[in-house]
Chain A
Amino acid sequence: MNRPTSLLLGALLLAGGCASAHAASYIDQRRVDAVQGDVAAGAAKATVCVACHGPNGNAIVPAFPRLAGQRAEYLAGELHKFKRGTRPESPMTALAMPLTDEDIRNLAVYFAAQTHTPSTLPPPDSQTLARGEALYRQGDPARGAPPCQGCHGADATGPEAGAEHYRAWPSLRGQNGDYLVQRLQNYRDGKLKDSSNDFVMHGVAQTLDEPSMRALASYLSSLPPASR
């Protein structure tokens, strides 16, 4: 074997070695397959979940997210992120660890199939509500804040169905307010950076100050569940 040939061969071998050491650094949510699962099996697995997320995923504690009626692809994506251990420290990390892919799919479709109940909290003051709605609908160009409805939909139930890359974008309608604020803070602070969608929200959240976040959260939590 002559010199150049062996050089080339060596390089290729080295290339092969490097290749095997690589792992995805984030979840790419720009192409998301529709999640199919077994609702009944999900229901069986969900017995642990309801402790925090409420019956049928309608969490009562405002700091915990409501899962009922949420998009299955979003739910599955979040569970995967917990399983990867890249979310901020939470009991969910440990709870998600033993879940198999199948468990995740089943849980996702289960919660997605549940009926979302209205919030029982008192509505916020009208000024906050107006500010929240304005942010959601128009954004705030002075702050560089884009309107949320662009991605989360005019009725806040998530983007129009169809495009594969929108599947994992969540419904925000009637979501618990404290949870939303905390979530936005985490995005802003770079604590949630494990998927392409996280990266988008990181940029968006940086344009919002605390009062804006709270106003938005209040507005969204005040919205009654969409009729299906």
Chain B
Amino acid sequence: MNLLSASSRSSFPPRRALAAACAGVAAMACSSLAFADSGIGVDLWRGNKLDPTAGTRSETPDENGTTWLKPGQNRSPTGNLYLGPFTPPQPEQYGDWRGYGTLEVGVLMVPTGDQRNALWNRYADWKEGPILGLLDYTLERASDGTYANFRGSRISDDDEYYQATFGRAGAFKVQAFVRDMPNIVSGNAKPVWNGVGSNRLTLPSGLTPGGSTPAQIAAASAAAPERTLSVTREKQGLSYSMFLTPEWTAYANVTDEQRRGARPYGGSFFFPGLGGSMETVKPIDDSTINVNGGFRYAGAAWRMDFSYSGSFYRDANTRYTFESPFVMASPVPGALSAPVYQGQMSTEPDNDYHNLQATLTRKLPSLNGEVSLSAAAGRMQQDDTLIAPIDCRGVFGVGFGDLQLGPQNPLLGDCSQWNTPAALSRRSAKMRIDTSMVDARMVLNPTSQWTLRGNVKYDRQDYRTGDYLLYNPLTGQYGYIAENGSQPSIIPGEGFPVGRFTEVGNMRIRNIPLDIQTVDANLGADWKFDDKNTLGVTFGYNRYEPTHRERSEINDSSVKLTWINRSLDALTLRVNYTYLKQSGDRYDYDPYEEFVSASLPGYTPPAGGTPVITTSAMRKYDMSSFDQNKLDVMATLALRDDMTVSASARLDRKSYDARIGRQDYDTGSATLQWEWQPAATTNLSAFLGYDRSRLKMSNVNDALENGAGTDPSLGGPTYPYDAQWWLRDKQRNYYAGALFDHRIGRVRVDAGWNYTYSRGTDSYRYAGPDALAYPTTVPPGPGSGAFSPMVYRVNSFNLGVTIPIVERVSLRVFDYYERGRVDDWHYLGFDQSRYIGGMLYTDGGPQSYSNNVVGMLVNVKL
């Protein structure tokens, strides 16, 4: 049994991972398993677009309603109408057991439309043909509460799920599932390479690696057939949970997921016209085992929770290589470019993860509260074999006069000294992060009116054994070869490793550990000052201490006010307001000095000094100081006994203290929902929604052509004021929808409409043409402008009719129409060509579409 069939290169053999997983399951489940529950793990829901409810769509509302004693529905404590129940099943008796269920089979017809469109079928692989809408069958044994259930649905090979559950209520539950989930990442990809989906992309016959003319590249791109790129997730899992005693429960879950497919990805070969950049295709071929298990205790005074989570990721590939068609051509007079033509892209390393967590809670009966202590320790690690710094033959870099290695060509590198693991300071990654967490919290209700609560959480991640030096023992050089050798082959000396006691150039020589420590504390009180009103206040404090970042300490202080009002029988109102202020210690715009070659002994700065990496006015938004105001209002109102209106409004304003960087980020939303249940078999609802965001940022162009500016200050010679620019990104979304479900006689008619309209605009202004990437096209002086709007508009309609044929058998006929329109300036012109301005693209970007699906489903109540 080899769950991780593909990972041949793994340093941690998959069989062992599986064995560990199984041992974990066995340990947790000494003798005899609920799936991931709301407390741990994923996989809580398996449905599909045809029925996101995974089985209740085909149920019939009971025309008799909920109770004979009064009309209509009760309301939940918040005030929403409860649903009317479905018609109870008519079970068949098999001895001790009773069985009931639903079988729904039929066909989908997709007569017209853009079926391959990636916006349309991204997570729903609707194809023309027969489908299993639903098979759901339950067996129950009333005498002891034992039950078994099978549920499955198959839309197509990549869009299906099946699960089987067996258990005894209050005793144990075992569940197994298999699920395939589609993810169409591009419906209109035109990769030029052979070997898409594999770890080796080679150019077709019309193209020469490192030596194709633009015309040849354009022709090959135009000739490449359009294809779909997708990544399918295939997952299977087994879970178990049981009561050991009325107080003790145990659970264990194990899942195994394979991802297969290919997706568009980058491919760096320096700048167009000099080398070229391309969008390659990354193979996806990996597998993940997730395991968790634990014991839980809930007694009269104490509660305990002990859990283990593990994850084991295995990638079949360590890297993939791709051939570049572009000719290397240095613009520097006299410089000859080495003919590098092949790039490599590392894939994600295999990783292992373990986490142990324990929680201990003690009730405090005299104060009507509880105190709880949690601790967790985790480890994520990988020790993947490292790939060589470059995959080239011969030489890389530039030569002057010729491309012969030797002292006359100091900026020419010998591939054989770099295309081998022997060129590495260490053969494997040896990366590890240990995490730890301690949380203590207390809630007290000293009187029925007062709740006092407080918690402190301490969390840290420590990088262990990870220091990696970019040093080639074969050549004694530090640094790395940038962009697959293309950069040093075009710009002499750039992205070229530096000598032992160099000289010039400043490049990374070490990786950066990112240890983090966080302390989060909250203290609050809630006061029920009468039956109808609760007021709450919470003071929060957060100290975030990153390592090797612009700040070593960031502090958040917040106050949150809560008001809950139920003074009207028909209304529930919840209002929350938060003010948060973030600040920190001194902002160091360049905390990376020790990780670059400037820190090497003997480093000689260039004549003008070492170039700065950024402006001192930059405040990265995760490190920045800001003020935040958040308001959140929710109301649920019963308009009549059978009608509800809910509304919400939310505002979140963040104002950053940054001259360069993010300056403001405001979001807001408003919703209005209306629901009407005039009869047990009639439901109508509608909603309107609006949300928006506004992001303001500023940046500044560097003025010096050679990028060698040494003054970090805004307004200085490197970053002059007249090169500053400002951008405002505004996103507005409008949503609306309606649902209708009604019985006309014995026939059920359901209809729905869903509408989304998004509009994003990016407008800018600049202090002068120097701010621009292409300054020569505008007149001197400040200016402004805007990108064309990014638009996404989707309208979908469905209409279904369910007609009873004979007892227990009905026919559902439905039509689903969806139309989407998208405008995205990132992909302008891609419909004409994928070879634009010396760059070769694969994905054509999102496309507008319309599709109509007709389905006929026969529903049999088993």
Interface on A for B, CB 8 Å cutoff?
2-4, 7-8, 11-12, 14-16, 18-22, 28, 30-31, 163-165, 196-197, 199-200
Among listed B90-98, B467-475, B726-734, B739-747, interface-contacting one? B739-747
**B804 touching A18, Cβ below 8 Å:** yes
Q: Which of A3, A14, A163, A197 contacts B111 (CB 8 A)?
A: A3
CA gap between A145 and B69 in the complex, in Å: 16
| Contact flag A19-B70 (CB < 8 Å), given A4-B109, A8-B854 | no
CA gap between A164 and B642 in the complex, in Å: 14
**B747 touching A15, Cβ below 8 Å:** yes
CA gap between A30 and B811 in the complex, in Å: 31
- B695 CB to nearest A CB, Å: 44
| Contact flag A4-B745 (CB < 8 Å), given A14-B803, A15-B801, A31-B71 | no
Query: Quick check: is B356 within 8 A (CB to CB) of the other chain?
Result: no
Which residues does chain B contribute within 8 Å of A21, judged by CB atoms?
745-746
- Contact mask B830-862 → A, CB, 8 Å, 1/0? 000000000000000000000010101000000
Subset of 12 A-B contacts with CB under 8 Å: A3-B111, A7-B813, A8-B815, A12-B801, A15-B801, A15-B803, A18-B745, A18-B747, A22-B746, A31-B71, A165-B70, A165-B71
CA gap between A8 and B811 in the complex, in Å: 12
**A8 touching B68, Cβ below 8 Å:** no
Which residues does chain B contribute within 8 Å of A20, judged by CB atoms?
745
Query: Quick check: is B799 within 8 A (CB to CB) of the other chain?
Result: yes
CA gap between A197 and B745 in the complex, in Å: 23
Query: Quick check: is B244 within 8 A (CB to CB) of the other chain?
Result: no
CA gap between A137 and B171 in the complex, in Å: 40
What secondary structure prevails in chain B residues at the interface with A? Answer: strand
Which of chain B's residues has its CB closest to A151's CB?
B69
CA gap between A135 and B699 in the complex, in Å: 84
Query: Quick check: is B749 within 8 A (CB to CB) of the other chain?
Result: yes
**A8 touching B744, Cβ below 8 Å:** no
CA gap between A186 and B816 in the complex, in Å: 51
Which residues does chain A contribute within 8 Å of B745, judged by CB atoms?
18-22
Residue count of chain B within 8 Å CB distance of chain A: 22
CA gap between A28 and B69 in the complex, in Å: 10
Q: Which of B68, B801, B815 contacts A200 (CB 8 A)?
A: B68
- B93 CB to nearest A CB, Å: 22
CA gap between A197 and B68 in the complex, in Å: 7
Which residues does chain A contribute within 8 Å of B801, judged by CB atoms?
8, 11-12, 15
- Contact mask B733-771 → A, CB, 8 Å, 1/0? 000000000001111010000000000000000000000
Which of chain B's residues has its CB closest to A25's CB?
B63
**A165 touching B746, Cβ below 8 Å:** no
- B413 CB to nearest A CB, Å: 64
Which of chain B's residues has its CB closest to A197's CB?
B68
Which of chain B's residues has its CB closest to A198's CB?
B68
**B803 touching A2, Cβ below 8 Å:** no
- B655 CB to nearest A CB, Å: 54
Number of CB contacts from chain A to chain B under 8 A: 61
Which residues does chain B contribute within 8 Å of A14, judged by CB atoms?
747, 803
**B111 touching A4, Cβ below 8 Å:** yes
CA gap between A151 and B854 in the complex, in Å: 51
Which residues does chain A contribute within 8 Å of B815, judged by CB atoms?
4, 8
Which of chain A's residues has its CB closest to B856's CB?
A7
- B476 CB to nearest A CB, Å: 73
- B851 CB to nearest A CB, Å: 12
- A131 CB to nearest B CB, Å: 26
Q: Which 4 A-B pairs have the closest CB atoms?
A: A19-B745, A22-B745, A4-B854, A15-B747
CA gap between A18 and B745 in the complex, in Å: 7
- A15 CB to nearest B CB, Å: 4
Residue from the set A19, A21, A197, A200 with the largest chain B CB neighbour count within 10 Å: A19
Which of chain A's residues has its CB closest to B855's CB?
A4
**B70 touching A11, Cβ below 8 Å:** no
Could you list 19 further interchain pairs (A-B, Cβ under 8 angstroms) beyond the known A7-B854, A18-B747, A165-B69?
Answer: A3-B111, A4-B109, A4-B111, A4-B815, A4-B854, A7-B813, A8-B813, A8-B815, A11-B803, A11-B813, A15-B801, A16-B744, A19-B744, A19-B747, A20-B745, A22-B745, A30-B70, A165-B71, A196-B68
- B129 CB to nearest A CB, Å: 14
Which residues does chain B contribute within 8 Å of A19, judged by CB atoms?
744-747
CA gap between A20 and B747 in the complex, in Å: 10
Which residues does chain A contribute within 8 Å of B799, judged by CB atoms?
8
**A30 touching B111, Cβ below 8 Å:** no
**B71 touching A199, Cβ below 8 Å:** no
Which residues does chain B contribute within 8 Å of A3, judged by CB atoms?
109, 111
Which of chain B's residues has its CB closest to A22's CB?
B745
CA gap between A31 and B641 in the complex, in Å: 12
CA gap between A226 and B497 in the complex, in Å: 106
CA gap between A3 and B65 in the complex, in Å: 38
- Contact mask B786-825 → A, CB, 8 Å, 1/0? 0000000000000101011000000101010000000000
- A10 CB to nearest B CB, Å: 8
CA gap between A4 and B799 in the complex, in Å: 13
Which residues does chain A contribute within 8 Å of B803, judged by CB atoms?
11, 14-15, 18
Which residues does chain A contribute within 8 Å of B71, judged by CB atoms?
28, 30-31, 164-165
Which residues does chain A contribute within 8 Å of B747, judged by CB atoms?
14-16, 18-19
**B111 touching A2, Cβ below 8 Å:** yes
Which residues does chain A contribute within 8 Å of B852, judged by CB atoms?
4
- B55 CB to nearest A CB, Å: 23
**A15 touching B854, Cβ below 8 Å:** no
Which of chain A's residues has its CB closest to B744's CB?
A19
- B822 CB to nearest A CB, Å: 26
CA gap between A200 and B65 in the complex, in Å: 14
Which residues does chain B contribute within 8 Å of A11, judged by CB atoms?
801, 803, 811, 813
CA gap between A4 and B817 in the complex, in Å: 12
- B638 CB to nearest A CB, Å: 16
CA gap between A20 and B803 in the complex, in Å: 13
- A64 CB to nearest B CB, Å: 27
- A159 CB to nearest B CB, Å: 11
- A201 CB to nearest B CB, Å: 10
CA gap between A5 and B801 in the complex, in Å: 13
Which residues does chain B contribute within 8 Å of A196, judged by CB atoms?
68
CA gap between A15 and B749 in the complex, in Å: 9
| Contact flag A200-B69 (CB < 8 Å), given A2-B111, A22-B746 | yes
